[in-house]
Structure 1
Amino acid sequence: MAQSHSFCSLDAPNVKQCWALSFGKVLSHVPGAFLTLHPLFPVSTKSRAKAWAGGRSAEHAPSPRRRRRRRRKRRPPTALFPSLLPCNMRAGSALTLTPLLRRLLLPCRSSYVRTQKQRHPPPPPPFPQLAACRWQSGLMAHYGTEQRGRLHSPDYCLYFKNSKGKYISPFHDIPLCVGSNEVQEIPAKKSRTSGNETIFNMIVEVPRWTNAKMEIATKEPLNPIKQDVKKGKLRYVANIFPHKGCIWNYGAFPQTWEDPSHKDDSTGCCGDNDPIDVCEIGSQVRAIGEVVQVKVLGILGLIDEGETDWKIIAISVDDPESQKIHDIDDVRKFKPGYLEATLDWFRLYKVPDGKPENQFAFDGMFKDKAFALEIVKSTHEYWKALVHKKSDGGAIKCTNLSVGTSPYCCNEEDIQAIVQLAPPLLEESSVSKEAEQWHFLGR
């Protein structure tokens, strides 16, 4: 006879294991089941044979050789409830059930698995939109920056480096699309329901809530980020109540150019001779020179002193709301009032300087994602013509390290010499009082 064992003496780490042991004890006495749980449930050889035979005597039990053959045809012994067994029973222990009991226990196991999934759902995959566009972390390039000169002064420069520590141009060497090392075509439209997204690199020039008018210096070699100077004075973004500085992370797309010799059909004006501007509406405040992966949501057509100045509306792919915001209408839904504030900001931001309000194409209406992608594609084509000397860029510097087909491509020694001409980093100077002034404009 099987020896009597007290369950209180067993070292079961939790209730699930106690239930498993209790259930196994019951199964050892059910006809039609052969249950061996060594060393917790030692059962005599005669009892095992009787249980195997379904109540028959040991003389009618199958021979050991035949029993081994039958065991080979069955599923692995730990196929049922492996997580319920103690750790010392999950490997090397025999838990063999007849097909009848297996059929009875499988629904129980399915119910248990469903319950556990409901109680502890698996975490969502990180950045599904990146996986949807076949972007891999191994393809992501990491960029660094090096400061030169004194911050908040005309000689301040922020140079860029690639993942190998080599100096590069943020205007020409950082690819427009994430994961691309070459100039590539941009899809004109991607379906929202298909989960495909085109991810772009954005270079942050003016972080949210800051005032210093930093921008890519297109007319200097290697195009470092510098503070804009006008009439000998450093430029600052005016604080127009209730807004403090920029109300988004403001920057530009690399490898784009708004051609001043091309008259846009939508606006009737020529380009402003700069990379296309981007307003990143995510919740995180970025840093100057940070390269952020974003997806395009829409576009606003600004007419700035008779020039076309497109403003891309985008959101970073690592933002918590990025997975539910895919087009310009989603911005209105999940960030109500943001687009209206953006329109007012661009209309009034030059008024404190004594200039008139800015005008907009399409009566200030934001265009959708498909239209925005077409504009990005066209500005990318203008940049390719610029960097290959097929368009007249005037004073724009196209010095680069990686565009091998460009006549402006230079070697590392020449680029290193350009950086060495800049003054070393000095202590930070105080911010101008102009950045702290507030303007209240009446309607």
Structure 2
Amino acid sequence: MSDTYLNLVNSGLTKKIAKQFGLPRPARLRRTDPKSIDAPLVTGPVVVLGTGADADTLATTLLDWELDVRRTMRGGRVGALVLMLTELTAPEDAAEVVDQAGPLMKALGPSGRVVVLTRAATEQDSPARAAALAGVEGLWRSVAKEVRYGATANAVVLRDGVGVDAPAALGAVRFLLSARSAFVSGQGLQVSSDAGTLPADWTKPLAGKVAVVTGAARGIGAQIARVLHREGAQVVGVDVPAAGESLASVMNEVGGTAIQADITDETTPARLIERVRERYGRLDVLVHNAGITRDKLLANMTPDRWRSVVAVNLRAQAQMNEALLATPDLSPDGLRIISLASTSGIAGNRGQSNYAFTKAGVIGMTRSLAPLLAEHSGTANAVAPGFIETEMTARIPALQRQVARRLNSLQQGGKPVDVAEAVSFLASPQSAGINGQTLRVCGQHLMGA
């Protein structure tokens, strides 16, 4: 659904009026153009701030990506700022990088990027180092609320012993610099291991992979199927028989396989595994996208509303995961499971106690599933969308919808493709070192952490 207000404040006389009266002016975000794979990764110079081996290593890699890399800059627009804060030992150590970053923030261009690299604290850290690393999180979350014109700020958080040149670290940096992360801001992606491989072709990292997407007939699920296909995957779309026509249309579009099934049926996992094995011989990616809402205040919640939401949103995922854990031979290179959570599951939402229960449950299940999949070189991660422009949100009353759109740092709703880009990133081989994480795609929604 089109955001009329966003269009008005970005064109003609209404743009001048909005500026004059100090009205919110959400920017048009730079997103991936599927028709132009040669589009630049970053629009402008990338300034890497910081000294030491980590900063040198990353700067060299960015040069290898044919970016315009600077270590300092005076004058002109900046495409991205990379703040190297991986070697802090005390709070005062951050001052030099922050001093350099301050003036450059004013030069950050539209849809610019700020990416902070830091480390996760450990129990062995001194109080001073622990304070410094905790402070970095406050820094990037605050910067994400300060940047303007569609710019974002995020962090790559490295566990102890993980190098900045680890595949998942470089993959995360590339994702956060790119247009693919347009609606991701104020987030930290933790890299826990050196696992993974960098793709030979960054435009087709999923070449040769097979991906199953539930709820693929429309909306976010259909867009996930399209992006996975764009990235090189063979896609199997699953949806209920009632959505069969839409599902067939989407699968025809991406050259995939359509499977009509009720995911709450206990026989579905075995049937799905059999079909995938028969057709492709392997399964590399499973995207749990299917979900429903049956909103009511808890005081008015009926048993069927609660049970139906739990059955689709949570129990169906659990039984599918259990079946796949029992058949590791189907995923010889390790299975990537990406589950759709929600910001409602992080902060709660009025009238959605059943939905929030299931989406918080997805996050908990993801954390528990991660080490089990890691035993077979797999990963489990979740993506938590905020307000996304879909058929469902289009039915929200107009005034309520406008308010919901503005309740994030980017002051607008996201698009289904924003969720799909995050899913595809977590499904890719270079993301193997990211496990058990929940990535919010919410424009730094003002509710929740």
- For Structure 1 versus Structure 2, the TM-score category normalised by the shorter chain is under 0.3
**With structure 2 as the length reference, what TM-score do the two structures score?**
0.21
**With structure 1 as the length reference, what TM-score do the two structures score?**
0.21
